[in-house]
A and B are shown apart, each in its own frame.
Chain A
Amino acid sequence: MFDPNTPVLVVDDMKTMRKLVIRACTQLGFTNFTEAGDGAEAWSLLSASDSKIGLVISDWNMPNATGLDLLKRVRSNQKTSALPFLLLTAESEASQVQTAVAAGVDSYIVKPFTAEAIETKLKQVYAKKHAA
C-alpha cells in the first residue's frame, strides 16, 4: 500500500467532494493533501519544479480543464508520466471507462464511494505500479 506520507493531490471543482475524498483518505492513514479546483490549477501544481505530489485523485467532469485533460497532460510529461492517477466519476458507462483507460488512468472510482472502495482501488494501483 502507499506510504501514508505520500503527498496526495485532490482535484475537484466542488469543495464538498474534495472534503469527502480527503476525509476518506484520512481514514486510510494519509496525512498530506494538496487541493486544486480544476485541471488547470492542478497542472500548475504538478508541473512546479518543487512538486512532491505522489498520487493524484481527480474528478473527471470539471470546468476549464477536465480530469481527462489533466490525465493526458500528466501522461505526456516526462516528469509526471508515471504518477499514480485515479479518476473520480459519477458515471460508469463502458465508453467512458475505455476512454480513461486509453488515456492511461491507473484506476477510477465511481461516486458515491466509501473509504473502503478507495482503499481497494489504491491497493490495486500500488500493486500494479510495483509489479511493473
Chain B
Amino acid sequence: MGTKKIDTSIQDGANLIVLPNVSEKDLFELLETSIKQWLILPEKVHAFDFANVSMLDQACITQLLGFQKSLKKVEKSHFSLNINPNLTKLLKEKGLLTAFNIKKSFEDGLNRPSEKAAPGQKVDARLLKPFIDGAANAFQVQVGITLKSGTPSSKTHIFEESDAIAGQVEISLPNFKGQISLCFSKEGFIGVYEALLGEKITQIDEESADAASELLNMIYGHAKTILNKDFGMVLEPALPKAIINPKPLKSTHPVIVIPFDSDQGKLRIEIVIY
C-alpha cells in the first residue's frame, strides 16, 4: 500500500516527481492538487518517475497531458522515467509516447543543457509579474513611492547581510511549500515607514516592524488573486510576520530575487519554493 502523497524533490535543477503506488482515483486527486503548484516552481524541467505506477486511467492521462501543455505554454519541459511495458503499450496505442517524452534515465532526461535550471539563470517572468505589479501598486497607493523593478534572478541563500528587516509569509500546501520575503535595509525601511505613516523613527522596533509584514500582505494578496485566477493555482490566505535583523541562510532550493529601486533606496522580494 503506497502513501497518499506525491514525493517531489529538486535534483540537478529539475523537479523530480515520484508518482506513488495508489489507486487511479487517488492519483487523480493527488495530481489535481499538485499540478497547479508545480507550475510556480522556477525549475524549467519536470521529471515524472512512474516506477510505482502500474497503469493510468484516462482521467490521470488527461491531467498529465494538461500539465504538459501548461508547461509548454511557459516554455518549460518534462520527461518520463520508469514507465512499465504495459503502460508503454497503452501510451503507444493512444499515440502518446512522444507526449510523455520517455527517457532511459534521469541523466538522459537532463541531457539538454538549455533546459537545465541553475542558480543565476533567468526565471519565468509571467509568474513573477503578479508580485512585481502587486509591489508597485502597494507602494504607489499606500506609501506614495514609485518602485522601479530590476531583472529577476536566482541565488542560493535567503536574505542579505545588509537586511535590517523582512516581512515574510509562509505558504504551505500538500505538495508545495514556500516562503516569500520583502527585505529592506535599515535606511530603506525607515524612509518607507515615514512615507507610509508620516511618523519619524530612528530604530526599527516590533511596532514599526509590522509595516514590512503589512506591505508584503498587500503584495501577496494581489499576487495570490492573479495566480489563482489566471494560472489555476490554489494559494490560500496566509499571515505574514516581521523578522528584525534577518541573517543570511543557505537554501537548498533556488531563491528567486526581484530587486526594486525607489527614492527611499533599494528593496527586494525573495521567493523560495520547496
Q: Which of A13-21, A28-36, A47-55, A79-87 contacts B (4 or more CB under 8 A)?
A: A13-21
The answer on a CB contact under 8 Å between A15 and B196 is: no
Q: Does A101 contact B (CB under 8 A)?
A: no
The answer on a CB contact under 8 Å between B237 and A61 is: yes
Q: Is the interface of A mostly helix, strand, loop or mixed?
A: loop
Per-residue interface assignment for chain B, residues 118 to 153, with 1 indicating a CB less than 8 Å from any chain A CB and 0 otherwise: 000000000000000000011011100000000000
A100 to chain B, nearest CB (A): 13
Query: Which one of A14, A60, A111 lies within 8 Å of B210 (CB-CB)?
Result: A14
Q: Which of A69-77, A89-97, A118-126 contacts B (4 or more CB under 8 A)?
A: A89-97
Q: Does A23 contact B (CB under 8 A)?
A: yes
Distance A17 CA – B142 CA, assembled complex (angstroms) = 10
A62 to chain B, nearest CB (A): 8
The answer on a CB contact under 8 Å between B142 and A111 is: yes
The interface residues of chain B lying within 8 Å CB-to-CB of A89 are 221
The answer on a CB contact under 8 Å between B237 and A17 is: no
A109 to chain B, nearest CB (A): 12
Distance A14 CA – B216 CA, assembled complex (angstroms) = 12
The answer on a CB contact under 8 Å between A17 and B214 is: yes
Query: Which one of A13, A15, A92 lies within 8 Å of B207 (CB-CB)?
Result: A15
Highest count of chain B CB atoms <10 Å: which of A17, A62, A90, A111: A90
The interface residues of chain B lying within 8 Å CB-to-CB of A62 are 239
The answer on a CB contact under 8 Å between A91 and B211 is: no
Q: Which of B47-55, B56-64, B76-84, B223-231 contacts A (4 or more CB under 8 A)?
A: B223-231
Distance A90 CA – B213 CA, assembled complex (angstroms) = 12
A12 to chain B, nearest CB (A): 9
The answer on a CB contact under 8 Å between A93 and B229 is: yes
Contact A91/B221 with A16-B214, A112-B137, A112-B141 known, Cβ cut-off 8 Å: yes
Q: Does A114 contact B (CB under 8 A)?
A: yes
Q: Does B173 contact A (CB under 8 A)?
A: no
Query: Which one of A14, A92, A93, A114 lies within 8 Å of B214 (CB-CB)?
Result: A14
B189 to chain A, nearest CB (A): 12
The interface residues of chain A lying within 8 Å CB-to-CB of B137 are 112
Q: Does B159 contact A (CB under 8 A)?
A: no
The answer on a CB contact under 8 Å between A61 and B141 is: no
Of residues 205 through 242 on chain B, the ones whose CB sits less than 8 Å from some CB of chain A are 207-208, 210-211, 213-214, 217-218, 220-222, 224-225, 228-229, 237-239
B218 to chain A, nearest CB (A): 5
The answer on a CB contact under 8 Å between A91 and B224 is: yes
Between A and B, 24 residue pairs with Cβ closer than 8 Å are A13-B239, A14-B210, A16-B210, A16-B213, A17-B210, A20-B197, A20-B214, A61-B217, A61-B238, A61-B239, A89-B221, A90-B220, A91-B221, A91-B225, A92-B225, A93-B225, A93-B228, A111-B138, A111-B214, A111-B221, A112-B137, A112-B141, A113-B141, A114-B141
B interface residues with partner A (beta carbon < 8 Å): 137-138, 140-142, 196-198, 207-208, 210-211, 213-214, 217-218, 220-222, 224-225, 228-229, 237-239
